[in-house]
Amino acid sequence: MQAVIIVGGGMVGLSLALMLAKQNIKVKLLEAIRYPDYGAADDIPYHSSFDARNSALSRRSVQIYQELGLWDKLQQYATPIYQVHISEQGSFGKAKLINQHEGVESFGQVIENAWLGRVLLTEVRQTTNIELIDGVQVTSLKQDVEQAYLTVKREEETFELSTALVIAADGRDSFCRQAIGIGVDVHDYDQVAIVTTVQTSKPHQHVGFERFSALGPLALLPLPGEYRRSVVWPVKKGTEQEWLGEHNEQHFLNALQQTYGDRAGKFIKTGQRFCYPLTQVLAHKQVVGRVVLMGNAAHTIHPVAGQGFNLCLRDAHVLIRYLSHQFQQQQDLGDTQVLMAYEKARLNDQQKVIFFCDRVVKGFSNNNPLLKFARNTGLLAFDFIPGVKPLIANFAMGLRA
């Protein structure tokens, strides 16, 4: 049987390839950028597909990596979240989730994308039924009732590939999505995310903070090392230069201190800050013929609540279930009806997560006094109304997908 072709070798593409390989399905994985050659154990050069950002892996995502046999390798780079504190700067509303109260070991694990990417890439390179082809551009994607056909270019060399199934995981601006004529709905949040790592005087004690401030919703999450924390801070587009560069380090630390108060102690040091534009991009379809969209090619969402990558992993896990059944029955892996059944099966979970993240961003970006009072009352109610916490906790952990 022909190899499935995955276009896009970021964290979703690498994870997908390993899931397919575990089902004994052959894979060709195409990536536009040359992957790094890792040297020493502590050497993690950033790559465009797994960069300076961090991922808060939900409990369901951890379970998926456990099923792949990868969690033991990932865990050494991950930090569990035992508590989540949610609040709004200058307001009375506060809410808290504690793992022991919800009967779970943790709410998830925070891992730096550079480490996650390194572990995934190393595993892919060691897997015999995955052919990794990096440094290539897909310049054409066409299909008929029997096959999908790709034209691939590497420098001056051009070659043709064909397959029963193409999985397009080539990002927010997906070439494959455009090539097969799938349109998108785009919403620009007029924000960029400032991403970095900070050191604080108080140990993080495995507590994650979500702090809604006048500048934007600020996430502070624990990292390996007792005093290291990741920062993801969406700010208004056009103001990002105020926070970037060595000369702005103390200004950035002062802003964090003002926003958080003494909850984390003193913000002592910050690493290099990076910025990423924030837009919501939703494909009108996720399946056309023998091509299925995956990851940010299907849905790019706001990072608030850290749901994006977890949603993509759940998509991948369900797709593999459909493809595994086809493979075991020696049936067509690119059967459009099967792929459309996958798409239908995932819509409910996707729509809930997309709606939730979008509402949180817009709801906490509005400074109308009545709305501000309502949302802070809601945060207080979250702490006191029976049954609400387990519902929200399970949603955040990906256990109600």
Query: What does the pLDDT read at residue 253?
Result: 93
Strands 157-163, 83-88: pairing kind:
unpaired
Neighbours of 374 (CB within 10 A): 12
Query: What does the pLDDT read at residue 84?
Result: 85
Burial class of residue 386 (count of CB atoms within 10 Å of its CB; 0-12, 13-18, 19+): exposed
Query: What does the pLDDT read at residue 153?
Result: 96
Structure tokens at 244: 């970037």
Query: What does the pLDDT read at residue 361?
Result: 74
Residue with tokens 């970006």: 365
Residues 314/336, Cβ–Cβ less than 8 Å: no
Distance CA 32, CA 45 (A): 17
Residue with tokens 């994607």: 141
DSSP notation for 234-258: EEETT-GGGT-SGGGHHHHHHHHHH
Phi, psi of 232, deg, nearest 5: -125, 115
Distance CA 311, CA 343 (A): 13
Q: Which CATH superfamily is domain 4-36+45-364 in?
A: FAD/NAD(P)-binding domain (3.50.50.60)
Q: Is the dihedral of CA 329, 335, 341, 346 positive or negative?
A: positive
Q: Residues in the chain, how many?
A: 401
Structure tokens at 250: 């103390």
Q: Name beta bridge partners: 186.
A: 281
Query: What does the pLDDT read at residue 262?
Result: 85
Look at the pTM and tell me if it is higher than 0.75: yes
SS3 396: helix
Q: In order along the chain (401 residues), what is the average pLDDT of each group of 10 residues? A: 92 97 97 82 52 82 95 94 79 72 83 91 95 96 96 94 98 97 95 91 92 77 91 88 85 89 89 90 98 97 85 96 96 97 96 84 56 48 49 49 48
Distance CA 63, CA 99 (A): 17
Distance CA 35, CA 53 (A): 17
Report the side by side order of strands in the sheet with 108-112: 54-58, 108-112, 78-81
